[in-house]
Amino acid sequence: MDRVRAEELAALVDGELPPDRRAAVEAAVAASPKLMRLLRAQRETTRTIRTAAARIDAPESLRRAIPPRPIAGSTTMNTSGHMEWAAPAPRTQWWWLTARVLGALATLAIGAVHLQQYFEFYSGVPTIGTLFVLNFAGATVIGVGLLAPIERLAGGLGAKAVPLLAAGAILLAATAFVFLLVSEHRPLFGFMEPGYDPTAIAAARVSEAMTVTLLGAFLVARTVARIPMPRW
């Protein structure tokens, strides 16, 4: 009997195992109590994540714009001995997209705040002013990339780029948050934040925290929880 890898069990739970391999994996699971226990554990983990994710619902207009894709949620044995996979409630298919879109918008907000502050106060500050412009440029590129259907436009390369963009947004937001915090208490690149615009500072902190939280959740679903990602 072929050896069944852990990633194949995860793909079986997600409904992403190729048909030519699925029958062999199902047969191996049916014949092995150990594999059956591992499959049940994988299924319980996925169900727990989706139950939590179900509390986040995308707007109806956004769900209509994206074709549904079946996602496996539970298994039963049919009369022929093959496993049948039931899809979870539709809302669990879209929570990841909500996190991606909102995280992208929060990333764009980070860039917008830094650009506004550059022209308002910091254009003449050495190094800091340049960093504000670079922050705007990076946030714009990343935010637009996350909002665009790059999986459809660039195929497999686009699918690989999405988690990299999300990770880049998190790094950008976390770096900006830390730099601001440090500059409020001690000089950073020879500059100490005087608190010119408390409203803008608050907006920057909120958008940075939202970016890290939302895109962090997206990355967990994309790379750890292995929740299937329908394309735009």
What is the model's pTM?
Answer: 0.56
Q: What is the C-alpha to C-alpha distance for residues 65 and 184, in angstroms, rounded to an integer?
A: 44
Cβ atoms within 10 Å of 4's Cβ, excluding its own: 21
Q: Which residue has the tokens 């948050």?
A: 177
Q: How far is CA 97 from CA 24, 38, 40, 176, 205, in A?
A: 33, 29, 27, 25, 23
Q: Please report, for the chain, the start and end positions of each structural domain, with discontinuous segments joined by +.
A: 6-93, 95-224
Calculate mean pLDDT across residues 58-77: 51
Q: What is the C-alpha to C-alpha distance for residues 103 and 209, in angstroms, rounded to an integer?
A: 10
Cβ atoms within 10 Å of 159's Cβ, excluding its own: 15
- Count helices and strands (H / E) in the chain: 8, 2
How does pLDDT run across 87-144, given as a tens digit for each residue? 444 444 577 788 899 999 999 999 999 999 889 888 888 888 899 999 999 999 999 9
Instruction: Tell me what the pLDDT averaged over the chain comes to.
Output: 77
Q: Quick one: pLDDT at residue 60?
A: 61
DSSP 165-190: HHHHHHHHHHHHHHHHHHHTTS-BTT
Q: Quick one: pLDDT at residue 155?
A: 66
Q: Is the pLDDT of residue 81 over 50?
A: no
pLDDT over 70 for what percent of the chain? 73
Calculate mean pLDDT across residues 219-225: 73
Q: Is the pLDDT of residue 223 over 90?
A: no
Q: Is the pLDDT of residue 180 over 60?
A: yes
Between 189 and 80, whose confidence is greater?
189
Yes or no: say if 197 and 117 are a contact pair by the CB < 8 Å rule.
yes
How does pLDDT run across 22-35, given as a tens digit for each residue? 888 788 878 888 87
